[in-house]
């Protein structure tokens, strides 16, 4: 058990290292940030001066290991464009992203999972059909179309809700629904498939034969086993949400991290980009690790097999 954990953790650290190294090299291939800052007006001396100041004149491996050294000490560098510490730039916008992400995640889970259960248990019924229809819809509609449709209907025509900014609770409604709809669809589909699989098992038939109430069969016997695949999906959704959504932030003028992160590519703001990649990779890797652990907790069979 401990050996397994250690091996997984080592694997995770190795993954992080490669992600960072790849990203570090790739963004530097896109060009020098100095060119963008000065444009055509700069003299060669000025460019060389700034590149020396930022350490961009050093060989790539040296730059990388110096950066790694700083990261180990908690120093993620200074944004080349804003001239402020990357962590500050990021933290300012993280709150808006997190609030929205949390709301969307809760909404997506609280609606999606019951929908999935409903469509698995009440197969053929009206409720199940409705649930399946919604799932189908959520899979086929991209964020930008949901967002525009919501703005068009609730923002412009009915004039019920604001569609840009993040100042009041009412501002959360449309972006949160936009983010949550596809999540509901994914959660409902996974829940349904997993539950249908489990409901076919012998022990469920046994439980029913014993005369256990259907509510208890699904709630106690089936759910406990069906929830495993869902944990993985939910974990990856958290990782995806944490980096903000460029589309939702663009359409609703939401002050989240998605925009500075994607903007850092075109502005060649390397420290910001690297920080974003580190955060995302850390979340994905730790979520995967956590999911492995949860499996062990929820499913005793895993403990025996490993």
Partner 1 sequence: MSVTRQLFVGVGLLLALGAIFAPWLAPYDPVATSILEKLKPPVFVEGFDGTHWLGTDQLGRDLLSRCLYGVRVSVGIAVLGLLASAVLGTAAGLISGLVGGWVDRVVMMVADIFIAVPFLLLVLVGIALFGSDIPVLIALVGLARWETYARIVRGQVLQIREQPYIEASRLLGASETWIALRHVLPNISSTLLVLLTLNFPSILLLESSLSFLGLGVQPPTASLGRMVGDGRDHLIFAWWVAVAPATVILLITFIVQLLGDWLRDFLDVRLAE
The residues binding partner 1 (CB under 8 A) are 11, 14-16, 18-19, 22-23, 26-27, 29-31, 136, 139-145, 148-149, 151-152, 156, 189-190, 193-194, 229, 236, 243, 246-247, 250-251, 261-262, 265-266, 273, 276-277, 280-281, 284-285, 288
Q: In 3-state terms, what secondary structure has residue 85?
A: strand
Shortest Å distance, C-beta 185 to partner 1: 11
Phi and psi for 76 in degrees, rounded to 5?
Answer: -95, 10
Smallest gap from residue 18 Cβ to partner 1 (A): 5
d(CA 66, CA 169): 44
- Shortest Cβ 69–partner 1 spacing (Å): 22
Nearer to partner 1, 218 or 273 (CB): 273
Nearest to 238 by CA among 248, 246, 230: 230
Residue closer to partner 1 (CB basis): 77 or 258: 258
Nearer to partner 1 among residue 99 and residue 250 (C-beta): 250
Nearer to partner 1, 85 or 263 (CB): 263
Tokens of 112: 């999606």
- The runs of H, that is alpha helices, within 73-169 are 86-121, 126-140, 143-150
Q: How far apart are the first and last CA of the chain?
A: 7
Instruction: Give the burial class of 32: count Cβ atoms within 10 A of its Cβ; 0-12 exposed, 13-18 middle, 19 or more buried.
Output: middle
Q: Decide if 241 contacts 179 (C-beta within 8 A).
A: yes
The whole-angstrom separation of Cα 13 and Cα 10 is: 5
In the complex, what is the shortest distance from the CB of residue 213 to partner 1, in angstroms, rounded to a whole number? Answer: 29
CA 206 to chain centre: 40
CB of 284 to partner 1, least distance (A): 5
CB of 22 to partner 1, least distance (A): 7
Minimal distance in Å, beta carbon 45 to partner 1?
27
Name the nearest CA neighbour of 109 among 178, 195, 184, 177.
184
Q: 31 or 122: whose CB is closer to partner 1?
A: 31
Nearer to partner 1, 99 or 193 (CB): 193
Choice between 48 and 240, CB closer to partner 1: 240
Q: Do 98 and 242 contact (CB within 8 A), yes or no?
A: yes
């Amino acid at each position: 058990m401990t050996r397994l954990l250690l091996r997984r953790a080592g694997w995770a650290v190795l993954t992080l290292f490669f992600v960072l190294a790849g990203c570090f090299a790739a963004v530097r291939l896109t060009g020098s940030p100095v060119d963008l800052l000065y444009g055509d007006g700069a003299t060669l001396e000025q460019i060389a001066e700034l590149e020396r100041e930022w350490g961009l004149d050093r060989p790539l491996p040296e730059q990388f290991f110096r950066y790694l050294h700083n990261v180990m000490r908690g120093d993620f560098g200074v944004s080349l464009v804003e001239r402020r510490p990357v962590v500050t730039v990021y933290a300012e916008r993280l709150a808006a992203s997190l609030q929205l992400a949390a709301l969307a995640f809760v909404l997506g889970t609280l609606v999606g999972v019951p929908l999935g259960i409903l469509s698995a248990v009440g197969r053929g019924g009206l409720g199940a059909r409705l649930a399946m229809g919604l799932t189908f819809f959520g899979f086929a509609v991209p964020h930008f179309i949901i967002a525009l449709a919501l703005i068009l209907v609730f923002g412009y025509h009915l004039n019920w809700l604001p569609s840009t900014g993040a100042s009041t609770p009412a501002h959360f409604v449309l972006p949160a629904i936009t983010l949550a709809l596809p999540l509901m669809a994914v959660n409902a589909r996974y829940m349904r498939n997993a539950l249908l699989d489990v409901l076919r098992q012998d022990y469920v038939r046994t439980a029913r034969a014993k005369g256990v109430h259907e509510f208890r069969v699904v709630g106690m016997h089936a759910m406990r086993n069906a929830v495993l695949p869902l944990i993985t999906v939910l974990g990856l959704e958290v990782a995806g949400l944490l980096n903000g959504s460029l589309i939702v932030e663009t359409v609703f003028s939401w002050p989240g991290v998605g925009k500075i992160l994607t903007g850092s590519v075109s502005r060649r703001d390397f420290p910001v980009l690297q920080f974003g990649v580190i955060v995302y990779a850390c979340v994905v890797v730790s979520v995967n690790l956590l999911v492995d652990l949860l499996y062990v907790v929820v499913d005793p069979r895993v403990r025996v097999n490993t």
